[in-house]
Chain A
Amino acid sequence: MSAEIYLVGAGYFSPTQHTLSDVIEGVQREPIKPPCKLVASRMKRATSMLTRMSVEVAIQATEAAGWLGEEPSPFAMIFGSAHGEIQIAIEQMKMMKEEPFVVSPARFKNSVHNTAAGLFSIAAKNKGFATAIAGGAETFAMCLLEAFSLLKTNEAQRVLVTTGEETLPEPIADHTEHDNAAVALAFQSVPSESAIARVSLPQFGPAVETEFGLQSNHSVGPALALLLSARRGEFGSFALGSRASGFFEGSTKRGWSLEMSPV
């Protein structure tokens, strides 16, 4: 069993940097909502920034990989986020305490952690595997483990991994500061012409120093660091997250990491 998979597509979105190229080139744009071009307007209603960003990067990555438009849609879908739909959660609590004391059904149905997975599956007409994962600071690492296991057990030959976080509402924001952002990576078990990098099975061990601090954006930070390095042709060991008791406590001396190499 080969312990490597191939990165064949990528996506990135934040309100002011709409693609990975914007990040690489340092371009700052006027803030916009994620366009999510495959998603019908009525489906976008009452969805969060997190869901829209996650769906947007999923579209970017699968389009770059050449996977979109094929039927039946041939890839598994993993959507990661440490915090999930926290904005809607707090908004619902406010609804419960204000006249008429009822929760909006449209908001409630979009309040689950797998909202983006469901919305994207509908937009992409993908009736296959879909999951939604959380793991605190290790969210991205756990998404990659799931991707590896799907590919190496032949449950899928292609796997989309997204990870995204939206800003936290007050006063939860005191716990961590980060911006709205989402990243997507398209992996497959065999190389292709569009392959960007070769990625090894994540390992738990001594932490690897990385340019992007995990505090910047828990699940997105390490994912973006990996993508930027791949685009720049900078290969080697990469940190994926650290084991800690809660987000900010405990040692960061051990954590998940992987090796990335050229194809």
Chain B
Amino acid sequence: MTTPRVPYPITAFSLACSLGHTTDACLAELRAGRRGIRDVPFDVPFEANVGAILGELPSLPAELAAYTSRSAQIATLAYPEIEAAVASAKARYGAARIGLVVGTSTGGIDRTEAEYFNYFDSDEKAGWKPSAAYQYAKQHTFHACADYVGMLAGIEGPRLVVSTACSSSAKAFGTARRLLDLNVIDAALILGVDGLCNTTVRGFNSLGVMADEPSRPFGMDRPGMNVGEGAAYVLLERESDAPRAFLRGVGETSDAYHMSSPEPNGAGAEAAMRDALAQAGLDASAVQYINAHGTGTKYNDAAESKAVIRVFGDEVPVVSTKAYTGHTLGACGAVEAIFAVKAIEEGWIPAAIGADPRDPEIEVHVPTEIVETQIDTVLSNAFAFGGNNCSLVIGREA
């Protein structure tokens, strides 16, 4: 029997993704119904659309330049917006009492891809010899980006990476909350980050789920997903005089069914949603908006819809913001948690772009126009390879 858990205030956040370089820029595009979906910005032997960030990415500070990867650059892009809040937390708690929990699926794999591809494209066949600038440990590994952000932010508490594919940064909220419960930290900086790379774009294409047009989650004859990229920081604290919202529940379950396909009836997803609600001490009727995992693939959307129907019925608005951002993979949990907080703060639900006409097999309520309404509680889903499920409940009040 799950008992209600201590709610922790979300005190600051920042976001960069294909919609824009700041949280406000991303929200403005979301509100305007404009997608950040475009052609793949590198050569691939097929047609596909992705959620690529436009413009030059910033360089890392000179003293940390050895950590450069696309993920680290995107993390750098999003950092200035949350820097002051991190500084305040350090002043309040001390750097050693602030943890860093990073959710990513591929880390800085693009750096190794670039080096490896250069080797293949060269005449050098004696063996792969990376350039002098390449440093596997500081660029490719999972912990490379965590080390980089830890040093950038000057925080010294526990530093770890949760990498459960597309649920990574949603589960980072669970890990961060438990570290607060355990009293080994007083604040956690959560970062969800993933950069576009050949591995994921070509990998999802190999599974036959990449769309060559903008995705249409829950729509009829939906073409599949658009891989995306982004970085989203969320600061979770033990207490706050100015909370933006509260993390109320984190449900984490496994399908125990298949490595890359969801359990068709969404049983694991249902269990995660029910657990998150129980941890929040809330009934399903308390939720006014569900930010769906909603990848836009046939089977994922169908399974999620079935699970949502059993828990919430068919009246709660269900929207997938991946239609706007693309599927930011390991970053999506944190990206969409920020959308959830903004929905509570500003009282609107994005239009489910591309969902008209809706797939007749999708029974949940998918609003295709912006809904303006008071929102006190949002549930946000993230599901992943390996049958890994995570649902967050975020509320206005503790």
Q: Which residues of A contact B (CB under 8 A)?
A: 43, 77, 82-84, 89-90, 92-94, 96-97, 101-105, 108-115, 117-119, 121-122, 124-136, 138-139, 142, 145-146, 148-150, 152-155, 170-172, 175-176, 201, 204, 243, 245-248
Contacts and interface: CB of A to CB of B under 8 A. Distances in A.
A114 B165 contact: yes
B113 interface: yes
Output the residue of B175, B205, B385 with the most chain A CB within 10 A: B385
A176 B136 CA distance: 10
B93 interface: no
A130 B198 contact: no
Given A118-B388, A145-B179, A134 B199 contact: no
Interface residues of B, number: 69
9 contacts: A82-B142, A108-B203, A118-B385, A118-B387, A135-B160, A136-B142, A139-B143, A145-B179, A149-B179
B386 A118 contact: yes
B301 interface: no
A128 B2 CA distance: 13
Given A89-B112, A129-B254, A132-B162, A155 B386 contact: no
Given A108-B206, A146-B175, A89 B109 contact: yes
Given A148-B182, A153-B178, A135 B159 contact: yes
Contacts, number: 210
B112 A108 contact: no
A176 B141 CA distance: 13
A118 B117 contact: no
B202 interface: yes
Given A171-B130, A172-B136, A145 B158 contact: yes
Output the residue of A114, A152, A204, A246 with the most chain B CB within 10 A: A114
Contacts of B96: 204
Contacts of B385: 109, 112, 114-115, 118
Contacts of A172: 112, 136, 140
B164 A130 contact: yes
